[in-house]
């Protein structure tokens, strides 16, 4: 009878260990999948990220905002002409070059507003190329290797039934936390791209302000915002590279739960750092 009880107990313990190992193997699944795709996603421009969205945004902006930008540009051109006349004593001090200056400024302003989408896409082509080049230097895996898993499984085999039940409960709870973190990473990556689409949709109006010195700060700040959100992708790549190095340097000790909580802490740090990349990038480029 005792042998039967021991056999059942060993069987239950083995199954419990298998369940813990299964949870551990899948613990990083969602986060690793998301982290592994980060480099690829931030290296894709708006036109390729969601191919059906960019044409819709561009067409809507051209049909709705471009006429408004044209009105703004016309007002600014007239205002510039009035300022030139007033500044030269109502043409008492007539100089032909001031009209050439006004004409050239107006032509440049018209060209900017006409090609505003080409310019914005050129900014993102540049920043995506930078992110792609940076991603090629990021080395390291965030996966738990088979050797590490075998070591953890051996340590689990030395524990009692009660300890295993407690570990199973904690790891099941951590698994939920990791899924939440993977969702946070998804929100950050796609939220950044939605912000990019919103910025692109407003392009004609800020570009219409470049023709006047007093109002050009609107266009300048818009351009800084484009650079900030574009180079945020580079900062995201750096954060992922740091995370990969931290994971590689973790020592898988005999205390399985402590090791798992340490890994969970690194994942929280990853999510927090990804959130901060947007603020840091805006601060660097003085974008409001």
pLDDT digits (tens, 9 = 90+) for 112-128: 888 999 999 999 999 98
pTM as predicted: 0.81
HEC readout, the chain: CHHHHHHHHHHHHHHHHHHHHHHHHHHCHHHHHHHHHHHHHHCCCHHHHCCCHHHHHHHHHHHHHHHHHHHHHHHHHHHHHHHHHHHCCCCCCCCCHHHHHHHHHHHHHHHHHHCHHHHHHHHHHHHHHHHHHHHCCCCCCCCCCHHHHHHHHHHHHCCCHHHHHHHHHHHHHHHHHHHHHHHHHHHHHHHHHHHHHHHHHCCHHHHCCCCCCCCHHHHHHHHHHHHHHHHHHHHHHHHHHHHHHHHHCCCCCCCHHHHHHHHHHHHHHHHHHHHHHHHHHHHHCCCC
- Any domain includes 148: yes
Residue 222 lies in a domain: yes
Average confidence score pLDDT of the chain: 79
Q: Is the pLDDT of residue 266 over 90?
A: no
Query: Where in the sequence is the domain holding 255, given as residue range(s)?
Result: 2-61+115-284
Per-residue pLDDT at 235 exceeds 80: yes
Q: Between these two residues, 63 and 148, which has the higher pLDDT value?
A: 63
**Looking at the domain assignment, is residue 180 inside a domain?**
yes
pLDDT at residue 47 is higher than 70: yes
Q: Give residue-wise pLDDT tens across range 63-101.
A: 999 999 989 988 888 888 777 777 766 556 666 677 787
pLDDT given for residue 172 in this prediction: 77
Residue 178 belongs to a domain: yes
Residue with the bigger pLDDT between 154 and 220: it is 220
More confident residue, 13 or 116: 116
Looking at the domain assignment, is residue 104 inside a domain? no
- Please indicate, yes or no, if residue 97 is contained in any of the structural domains: no
Q: Is residue 102 part of a domain?
A: no
The total domain count for the chain is 1
Residue 168 has pLDDT above 70, yes or no: yes
In a domain? residue 32: yes
The pLDDT assigned to 194 comes to 92
């Amino acid at each position: 009878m005792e042998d039967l009880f021991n056999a059942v107990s060993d069987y239950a313990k083995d199954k419990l260990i298998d369940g813990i190992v299964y949870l551990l193997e899948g613990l990083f699944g969602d986060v690793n999948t998301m982290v592994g795709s980060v480099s690829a996603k931030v290296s894709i421009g708006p036109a390729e990220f969601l191919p059906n969205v960019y044409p819709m945004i561009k067409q809507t902006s051209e049909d709705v905002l471009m006429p408004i930008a044209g009105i703004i540009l016309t007002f600014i051109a007239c205002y510039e002409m009035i300022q030139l006349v007033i500044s030269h004593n109502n043409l008492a001090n007539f100089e032909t070059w001031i009209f050439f200056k006004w004409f050239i400024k107006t032509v440049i302003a018209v060209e900017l507003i006409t090609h505003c989408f080409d310019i914005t896409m050129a900014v993102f082509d540049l920043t995506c190329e930078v992110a792609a080049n940076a991603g090629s230097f990021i080395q390291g895996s965030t996966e738990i290797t088979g050797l590490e898993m075998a070591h953890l499984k051996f340590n689990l085999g030395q524990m009692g039934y009660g300890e295993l039940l407690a570990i199973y409960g904690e790891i099941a709870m951590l698994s939920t936390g990791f899924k939440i973190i993977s969702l946070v990473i998804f929100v950050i990556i796609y939220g950044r791209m939605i912000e990019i689409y919103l910025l692109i949709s407003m392009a004609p109006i800020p570009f219409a302000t470049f023709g006047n010195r007093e109002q050009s700060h609107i266009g300048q700040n818009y351009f800084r915002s484009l650079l900030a959100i574009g180079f945020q992708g580079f900062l995201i790549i750096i954060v992922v590279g740091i995370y990969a190095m931290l994971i590689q340097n973790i020592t898988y000790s005999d205390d399985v739960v402590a090791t798992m909580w340490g890994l969970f802490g690194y994942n929280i740090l990853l999510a927090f750092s990804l959130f901060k990349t947007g603020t840091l990038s805006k601060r660097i480029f003085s974008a409001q």
